[in-house]
Amino acid sequence: MTRTLLLSIALSALALPALAQTLTIYTSQPQEQMTEVIAAFNEEHPEIEVELFRSGTTEVMAKLQAEFAAGGSPADVLLIADAVAMTQLKGDERLMAYPEAPTEGIDAALLDADAMFFPTKLITTGIVYNTDLVDTPPTSWADLAQPEAAAQTIMPSPLYSGAAAIHVGTMVQQDQFGWDYFEMLAENGAVAGQGNGTVLEAVARGEKGYGVLVEYMAMNAKAQGSPVDFVFPSEGVTVVTQPVAILASTDAPEAARAFVDWQLGQAAQQQSVAQGYFPLGAGLDAPEGYPDPASLTLIEADNARLLADGETVKQEFADLYGG
């Protein structure tokens, strides 16, 4: 009798973490969007209470490292801009594999071989410009580097933004751009802000004419009435996939899997489109006013090199544009 009792207590202690229904998500997606995401998720899973920490990808990573050093992170799920940061965490054995994740319909090239993290949307980086200030919009990255345009250009810094880290890392891998391109921009007067938010602020307020920006921020601001428009440059756009992952140290693996399932499902994909993101899987149209994703030229990145060169890219960029 005592034995059964002890056993059942031990078992329920084991089961407790699995029943914990508070899910902590660390993300780089904007606050207002995450609010909508959580509301929609809770419609399907009202039993899971979601807590959120939001900041730029680089800061989210710094916070995680701080918490690992403090003995453990409260985070269960990570939803950040780029796969390279995820690969780094995977290398540190901080992620939990989830081979059963519903990944049908997603381009196999975007998937992690060990099912540690999963792409949720396509985010491209192109050129935003102020419609009050710019008469002839640029059509290419080369246009942006011309002296008149570059002098009025602001871009996000890889020291803050995951998308910017991938953008700069990808561009410098290309023969036609390389560091020469960023040197030319800097020489012609382009400056770096912090995250994508500072770029949108500067361009929408008319402090700068042009900016390097993720497409959804520009398109959403345009839809709300800000005097901005967006160009998908003719040479192509760089891409991040906003991957989602479960942390190995999670105390709510069931809830975390439910969130990953939901992120990859139709409802979340439709919501992403409504929030101004390109859909990931087939069968959904791009948001209104966006080009057909199939018509976009994507600049290919060598992910292994991105990971290996991550710190060097940040350092070089900081040397050119200041910390």
Partner 1 sequence: MLALVLCLYVGIITIWPLGQLLLTALQSGDAGEPLGVMRDTLAARATSRAFWNTLTLSLISVGISTALGTALALAVGLMWMPLKATLSFLILMPLIIPSQILALSWIELMGAQSPILRPLGLALAPGQGNPLYSRFGIALVMGIEHMPLVFIAVRAALRGLPADLVDAARIAAIPPCCILTRVILPLALPSALAGALLAFTAAVGNFGIPALLGIPGRVPMLTTLIYQRLNGFGPSVAGQVAVLALILTLLAAAALLLRGAAMRQLRVPVEAGRSFQPARIAPAWAQALIWAVVLLIAILPLAALILTSFVPAIGVAFSLEVASLDQYRRVLANPAVIRAFQNSLLLSALAAVICVLVALPLAYLAARRTSPAIAAMDLVAEVPWVVPGTVVALAMILAFLPPLPVIGVSLYGTGAIILIAYLARFLPLVLRPLTAAAAAGDAAEDEAARIAGIGLTGRLGRIFAPSVAPSALAGGVLILMTAMNELTLSALLWSSGHETIGVMVFSLQYEGNSTAAAAVSVLSTLLLVVLCVIAELALGRRRAMALPWRA
How far apart are the C-alpha atoms of 207 and 99, rounded to whole Å?
48
CA distance 231 to 64: 35
12 alpha-carbon distance from chain centroid = 38
> 76-88 b/e with 16+ CB inside 10 Å = b?
bbbbbbbbbbbbe
The conformational region for residue 221 under phi > 0 = left, psi -120 to 50 = alpha, else beta, is alpha
Interface with partner 1 (CB under 8 A), residue from 43, 132, 183, 300: 132
Question: In degrees rounded to 5, what are phi and psi of residue 25?
Answer: -110, 130
Based on the shown chain and the rule CB under 8 A, indicate whether residue 224 belongs to the binding site for partner 1.
yes
Q: Which of 208, 241, 247, 296 binds partner 1 (CB under 8 A)?
A: 208
Least distance between partner 1 and beta carbon 313 (Å):
15
Shorter beta-carbon distance to partner 1: residue 177 or 210: 210
- Which of residues 51 and 180 has its CB atom nearest to partner 1 in the complex? 51
Distance of CA 217 to the CA centre of its chain: 12
How many positions of this chain bind partner 1 (CB under 8 A)? 59
User: Is 88 near partner 1 (CB under 8 A)?
Assistant: no
Helix axes 83-91, 303-321, angle to 10 degrees: 110
Task: Determine contact, residues 293/122, Cβ cutoff 8 Å.
Answer: yes
Of the candidates 3, 44, 46, the residue with the CA atom closest to the CA atom of residue 21: 46
Residue 200's alpha-carbon distances to 167, 180, 196, 291, in angstroms, are: 16, 25, 6, 21
Binding mask 243-282 for partner 1 (x = CB under 8 A): ----------------------------------------
Which residues between 145 and 204 bind partner 1 (CB under 8 A)? 152, 159-160, 193-204
Q: Which amino acid is at 107?
A: D
CA 140, CA 93: separation in Å to the nearest integer? 40
Site string for partner 1, 19-38 (x = CB under 8 A): -----xxx---xxx--x--x
Q: Could you say which of 57, 58, 87, 272 contacts partner 1 (CB under 8 A)?
A: 58
The interface region with partner 1, picked from 9-17, 97-105, 127-135, 176-184 by CB under 8 A, is 127-135
**Contact pick of 45, 54, 257, 305 for partner 1 (by CB under 8 A):** 54
Residue 90 lies near partner 1 (rule: CB under 8 A):
no
Which stretches of the chain bind partner 1, using CB under 8 A? 24-26, 30-32, 35, 38, 51-55, 58-59, 62-63, 65-67, 69-75, 130, 132-133, 152, 159-160, 193-209, 217, 221, 224-228, 322-323
